Amino acid sequence: MAVSRPFAASFAWQRTVPYLLAAPLLIFMLVFYALPVLSMLMRSFFNPGLTLSNYTSLPDDVVFIKVFWNTLYTSIIVTLGTLLLGYPVALALVRTRRLAPLILIVIMLPFWTSVLVRSYAWMVLMGRHGLINEAMMAAGFLDRPMRLLNTPLATQIAMVHILLPYMILPIANALRQIDPSLARAASGLGATPLGTFRQVILPLSMPGVAAGTLLVFVLALGFYITPAMVGGPREITLSMLIAQQVDQLNWSYAACLSAVLLATALVIIGAAQRLPGIGNAFKMSAR
Amino acid sequence: MTSLGRGASVALTDLEKSYDRVAAVAGVSLDIRSGEFLTLLGPSGSGKTTTLMMIAGFETPTAGDIAIDGTSVVGMPPYRRNIGMVFQNYALFPHLTVEENIGFPLKQRGMPKPERAKLVGEALELVHLPGYGGRYPRQLSGGQQQRVALARAIVFKPRLLLMDEPLGALDKQLRENLQLEMRRLHADLGITFIYVTHDQEEALTMSDRIAVMNDGLVAQVGSPEDLYDRPSSRFVAAFIGESNFLPATVRGMEDDVVVAECEGAIVRAICPGRPASGDRVLLTTRPERLRFTDGAWSSSAPQNRMNVTVTEAVFAGERCRYMLQAADGTAMVLKEPSSAAIRRRAVGERTEIAWSVADTILV
């Protein structure tokens, strides 16, 4: 009696709309993502009866330990590589008005090509008679071709290349949000260009650095195609080990390894969220 | 706080700045005296901020020279100029506390921490914010942020302080308080202030001298009284305060006073030059300096008189404002202090007004 019916109805309807808008995606994700992941996790607890043996044996599993550390190590190197190469590019992207569109295209162009194609391209470049070896030999730096392909270095180079945009874009976004008058103020107050960068620009871009680092590291953890194609035969990553176990129809162990990979990524994301200053990285870069 | 000594003198000589061949500053020459509070006043796009940015070193002049204390600083990067600067949006470093913000210029100069803390404390006291050192800028109000910016700009004892519309983002009450504080700070420190604003009232209240800028040029430089009482151009007369403009024809000269015919009356005006008889000129006078005579008002000073018709009468509290029409149709404004004892004029009334010759300027 107090509230007229059309009003009450429209009010309830308005609150339902966001859920309805998200519903198709949520249902899709539930059916094709959440349920398969859940079933995979379930599988990891059966061997063949209900057991924790897959997990309890991991600490003593020499192959697993080696692969796990190799995966972490590769991810760290790749993350550092993208950071060192990406930060200056992000800075250039934000600072130069005329070159910015060109830089953006150069960054995004490989982004639109499949990872498979780019990994093949690296194979061509780094092969025994690839472009790099031929050029080095022609220039007289090498007497005979050096081994590049199927080494850890090859994996790292190719992964840095593929993951670079994920580092550049969040950093550029953070840099773009820094008020240009802050750099002027710093300079006017006596800070040299290097001092301005170190004391003002770098600290204020940390949310972008944190977001990019997290993104690249977590993506690098699960990389499969690139290390499988250009990496060394002995430097196996977790994802390669999983694929190998699946090939051998060792579903239960593969599921357990997948669970470990998923948990590692979640732990890192969770830890990053809790760090002061980095915790709101995503919030700040989304602003 | 210890004495800072006198401020820097700044000499701008034929200063120009063009962007893609469009001149933002088109030849500014200006001598700013040591210890002076000089305001660059002008509408947006007049080149006042560009001029300030060139003094600070953030913009490079296309031509001309900037000398501080007699030494040219063109080509010297901002971080070597030792000039304090306050920006309109405060430009406080958001990741540093108030203390760290104010200590920033001292840190750049390699001052050890204990000494830094002492000066920062003094600066905070000077801007009435003691105890705020540990806060972050976002935890302060706009007025407090601007005080921190001010403290940061003077803590390293520069001889020159530049301010780019520092009060533009604040509300009226706060703005007026800070205007007084800046005047006090200027008197205390004795350093040279160059202040940019588009607010003529702010310029009149605060400055020792004002340089009115228009279209990249200085239209007139002078004390607030100079500019208000003796504007040299129609632009200055219209931009600062309210003005009546009367087209007139020169009939002759009496010493420094020009005699002109205007709206069927003979009007005398102060004139710096010597216009020829028959020249078409423009006379200006301020609305609050006109009086209704009622055929009787007299004064020992020489006066101009004119017959007018009241076309609009507005009571605005402290004063009454009348729109008048002269014989030839020129519209004029007259402002009269309100009083219950003064008869209010009715629309359509035909009457006579008078004003001093000293308040009539040929522009």
Under the banding of pLDDT at 50, 70 and 90, the label for residue A6 is: low
Please indicate, yes or no, if residue A70 is contained in any of the structural domains.
Answer: yes
Joined together, the tokens standing for residue B206 give 């605060």
Please indicate, yes or no, if residue B5 is contained in any of the structural domains.
Answer: no
> What is the crossing angle of helices B172-189 and B142-154, to 10°?
20
On whether any CB of chain A is under 8 Å from the CB of B82, the answer is yes
Please indicate, yes or no, if residue A17 is contained in any of the structural domains.
Answer: no
Residue whose entry in the numeric block shows the structure tokens 């539930």: A30
Which residues in chain B have their CB less than 8 angstroms from residue A184's CB? 56, 58, 78, 85, 87, 91
Cβ distance B58 to A188 less than 8 Å, yes or no, reads yes
Please indicate, yes or no, if residue B247 is contained in any of the structural domains.
Answer: yes
- The helix/strand/coil state of A96 is coil
Cβ distance B87 to A181 less than 8 Å, yes or no, reads yes
Which residues in chain B have their CB less than 8 angstroms from residue A186's CB? 93, 104
**pLDDT in the model for residue B112:** 96
Please indicate, yes or no, if residue A32 is contained in any of the structural domains.
Answer: no
Using CB atoms, which residue from B77, B81, B87 is nearest to A185? B87
| Percentage of chain B exceeding pLDDT 90 | 74
**pLDDT in the model for residue B141:** 93
Cβ distance B91 to A190 less than 8 Å, yes or no, reads no
Residues B191 and B216 placed together within one structural domain of the fold: yes
Please indicate, yes or no, if residue A35 is contained in any of the structural domains.
Answer: no
On whether any CB of chain A is under 8 Å from the CB of B136, the answer is no
pLDDT, tens digit, 9 for 90 and up, residues B68-110: 999 999 999 999 999 999 999 999 999 999 999 999 999 999 9
Which residues in chain A have their CB less than 8 angstroms from residue B105's CB? 189-190
Which residues in chain A have their CB less than 8 angstroms from residue B153's CB? 189
Using CB atoms, which residue from B85, B95, B109 is nearest to A188? B85
Please indicate, yes or no, if residue B3 is contained in any of the structural domains.
Answer: no
B20-48: string of b/e by CB count within 10 Å (b at 16+)? eeebbbbbbebebebbbbbbbbbeeebbb
- In order of A53, B51, B186, the CA distances from B145 in angstroms are 62, 25, 19
pLDDT, tens digit, 9 for 90 and up, residues A270-284: 988 877 555 444 444
B284-316: string of b/e by CB count within 10 Å (b at 16+)? bbbbbbbbbbeeeeeeeeebbebebebeebeee
ipTM score for this prediction: 0.82
Which residues in chain A have their CB less than 8 angstroms from residue B85's CB? 184-185, 188-189
pLDDT, tens digit, 9 for 90 and up, residues A81-130: 999 999 999 999 998 888 888 988 888 887 788 888 988 899 999 988 88
Question: Would strands B160-164 and B192-197 be described as parallel, antiparallel, or unpaired?
Answer: parallel
**pLDDT in the model for residue A7:** 63
Cβ distance A190 to B105 less than 8 Å, yes or no, reads yes
pLDDT, tens digit, 9 for 90 and up, residues A251-272: 999 999 999 999 999 999 898 8
Residue A74 has pLDDT above 80, yes or no: yes
- The helix/strand/coil state of B294 is coil
CB-based contact B127:B86 (threshold 8 Å) = no
Contacts of B63 (CB under 8 A, 6+ apart): B14, B15, B16
Which residues in chain B have their CB less than 8 angstroms from residue A182's CB? 91, 93
- The helix/strand/coil state of A245 is helix
Cβ distance B108 to A182 less than 8 Å, yes or no, reads no
pLDDT, tens digit, 9 for 90 and up, residues A174-229: 999 999 999 999 999 999 999 999 999 999 999 999 999 999 999 999 999 899 98
- The helix/strand/coil state of B12 is strand
On whether any CB of chain A is under 8 Å from the CB of B274, the answer is no
- In order of A79, B37, B186, the CA distances from B208 in angstroms are 59, 5, 11
Q: How deeply is B60 buried, as exposed, middle or buried, from its count of CB atoms within 10 A (0-12, 13-18, 19+)?
A: exposed
First to last CA, chain A: 43
- The helix/strand/coil state of B269 is strand
Using CB atoms, which residue from A189, A203, A204 is nearest to B104? A189
- Specify the range with the lowest mean pLDDT, choosing from B64-68, B77-81, B246-250: B246-250
The minimum CA-CA distance between A86 and chain B, rounded to whole Å, is 23
Using CB atoms, which residue from A182, A184, A199 is nearest to B58? A184
Which residues in chain B have their CB less than 8 angstroms from residue A197's CB? none
Q: Give the span between the Cα atoms of B28 and B14, in whole angstroms.
A: 5
pLDDT, tens digit, 9 for 90 and up, residues B115-171: 999 999 999 999 999 999 999 999 999 999 999 999 999 999 999 999 999 998 888
On whether any CB of chain A is under 8 Å from the CB of B185, the answer is no
Residues B304 and B333 placed together within one structural domain of the fold: yes
| Percentage of chain A exceeding pLDDT 70 | 93
Which residues constitute the domain of residue B308? 242-362
Residue B220 has pLDDT above 70, yes or no: yes
B174-195: string of b/e by CB count within 10 Å (b at 16+)? bbeebbebbbebbeebebbbbb
Residue A132 has pLDDT above 80, yes or no: yes
Cβ distance B95 to A203 less than 8 Å, yes or no, reads yes
pLDDT, tens digit, 9 for 90 and up, residues B292-335: 887 565 666 778 989 999 999 999 888 999 999 998 888 999 99
The residue that leads in pLDDT, B3 or B218, is B218
Under the banding of pLDDT at 50, 70 and 90, the label for residue B264 is: confident
Residue A52 has pLDDT above 60, yes or no: yes
Residue B18 has pLDDT above 90, yes or no: yes
Cβ distance A186 to B93 less than 8 Å, yes or no, reads yes
Residues B307 and B342 placed together within one structural domain of the fold: yes
Looking at B167, B202, B237, the residue that finishes a domain is B237
Please indicate, yes or no, if residue B2 is contained in any of the structural domains.
Answer: no
Q: Among residues A55, A229, A214, A150, which one has the least CA distance to residue A243?
A: A229
Q: For residue B18, which phi and psi values (nearest 5 degrees)?
A: -120, 145
Number of structural domains chain A divides into: 1
Q: Give the span between the Cα atoms of A142 and A140, in whole angstroms.
A: 5
Using CB atoms, which residue from B83, B89, B92 is nearest to A188? B83
On whether any CB of chain A is under 8 Å from the CB of B60, the answer is no
The minimum CA-CA distance between B146 and chain A, rounded to whole Å, is 13
Cβ distance B104 to A184 less than 8 Å, yes or no, reads no
CB-based contact A3:A12 (threshold 8 Å) = no
Which residues in chain A have their CB less than 8 angstroms from residue B84's CB? 188
Residue B356 has pLDDT above 50, yes or no: yes
**pLDDT in the model for residue B347:** 92
Joined together, the tokens standing for residue B287 give 């609305």
pLDDT, tens digit, 9 for 90 and up, residues A157-179: 999 999 999 999 999 999 999 99
Q: Give the span between the Cα atoms of B71 and B74, in whole angstroms.
A: 9
Residue B208 has pLDDT above 90, yes or no: yes
Which residues in chain A have their CB less than 8 angstroms from residue B156's CB? 189-190
Q: How deeply is A252 buried, as exposed, middle or buried, from its count of CB atoms within 10 A (0-12, 13-18, 19+)?
A: middle
Residues B38 and B187 placed together within one structural domain of the fold: yes
Chain B contact probe: residue of A189, A192, A196, A284 with most B CBs at under 10 A? A189
Using CB atoms, which residue from B89, B104, B105 is nearest to A179? B89
Cβ distance A185 to B89 less than 8 Å, yes or no, reads no
Number of structural domains chain B divides into: 2
B128: left (phi over 0), alpha (psi -120 to 50) or beta: left
Residues B37 and B94 placed together within one structural domain of the fold: yes
Please indicate, yes or no, if residue A77 is contained in any of the structural domains.
Answer: yes
Pure H helices in chain B: 48-56, 98-108, 113-126, 142-154, 172-189, 200-206, 224-229, 234-239
CATH number of the domain at B315, please: 2.40.50.140
Count of positions (residues) in chain B: 363
Using CB atoms, which residue from A179, A184, A190 is nearest to B108? A190
CATH number of the domain at A87, please: 1.10.3720.10
Residues B284 and B199 placed together within one structural domain of the fold: no
CA pseudo-torsion sign A45, A51, A53, A55: positive
Looking at B207, B237, B267, the residue that finishes a domain is B237
CB-based contact B191:B158 (threshold 8 Å) = yes
Please indicate, yes or no, if residue A36 is contained in any of the structural domains.
Answer: no
Q: Give the span between the Cα atoms of A72 and B168, in whole angstroms.
A: 53
- In order of A135, A185, B29, B191, the CA distances from B56 in angstroms are 51, 10, 16, 16
Q: How many CB atoms are closer than 10 A to CB A191?
A: 22
Cβ distance A190 to B85 less than 8 Å, yes or no, reads no
Which residues in chain B have their CB less than 8 angstroms from residue A188's CB? 56-58, 78-79, 81, 83-85
Pure H helices in chain A: 5-29, 35-43, 53-56, 62-95, 100-111, 115-126, 131-138, 152-176, 180-188, 193-196, 202-204, 206-221, 225-230, 238-247, 251-274, 281-286
CB pairs under 8 A between A and B: 63
Please indicate, yes or no, if residue B4 is contained in any of the structural domains.
Answer: no
**pLDDT in the model for residue A3:** 52
Q: What is the mean pLDDT of chain B?
A: 91
Question: Would strands B192-197 and B37-41 be described as parallel, antiparallel, or unpaired?
Answer: parallel
Please indicate, yes or no, if residue B337 is contained in any of the structural domains.
Answer: yes
Residues B162 and B294 placed together within one structural domain of the fold: no
Residues B270 and B343 placed together within one structural domain of the fold: yes
Residues B58 and B166 placed together within one structural domain of the fold: yes
Residue B175 has pLDDT above 50, yes or no: yes
Under the banding of pLDDT at 50, 70 and 90, the label for residue A287 is: very low
Residues B293 and B221 placed together within one structural domain of the fold: no
- Specify the range with the lowest mean pLDDT, choosing from A24-28, A274-278, B359-363: A274-278
Residues B92 and B211 placed together within one structural domain of the fold: yes
Under the banding of pLDDT at 50, 70 and 90, the label for residue A18 is: confident
Looking at B237, B253, B281, the residue that finishes a domain is B237
Q: Is the peptide bond before B43 cis (omega within 30 degrees of 0)?
A: no
- Specify the range with the lowest mean pLDDT, choosing from B2-6, B231-235, B271-275: B2-6
Which residues in chain B have their CB less than 8 angstroms from residue A191's CB? 79, 104, 108
Inter-residue long-range contacts of A228-234, CB under 8 Å, 24+ positions, other chains counted: A229/A119, A229/A120, A229/A122, A229/A123, A230/A119, A230/A122, A230/A123, A230/A126, A230/A149, A230/A150, A230/A154, A230/A155, A230/A158, A231/A150, A231/A151, A231/A152, A231/A154, A231/A155, A232/A150, A232/A151, A232/A152, A232/A154, A232/A155, A233/A150
Q: Give the span between the Cα atoms of A183 and B58, in whole angstroms.
A: 10
Q: Give the span between the Cα atoms of B135 and B98, in whole angstroms.
A: 6
Which residues constitute the domain of residue A215? 53-286
**pLDDT in the model for residue B255:** 82
Cβ distance B79 to A204 less than 8 Å, yes or no, reads no
Q: Give the span between the Cα atoms of B218 and B27, in whole angstroms.
A: 8
Residue A112: HSE in the Cβ half-sphere, 13 Å Cα cutoff: 6
Please indicate, yes or no, if residue A103 is contained in any of the structural domains.
Answer: yes
Residues B22 and B132 placed together within one structural domain of the fold: yes
Which residues in chain B have their CB less than 8 angstroms from residue A203's CB? 95
Which residues in chain A have their CB less than 8 angstroms from residue B95's CB? 203-204
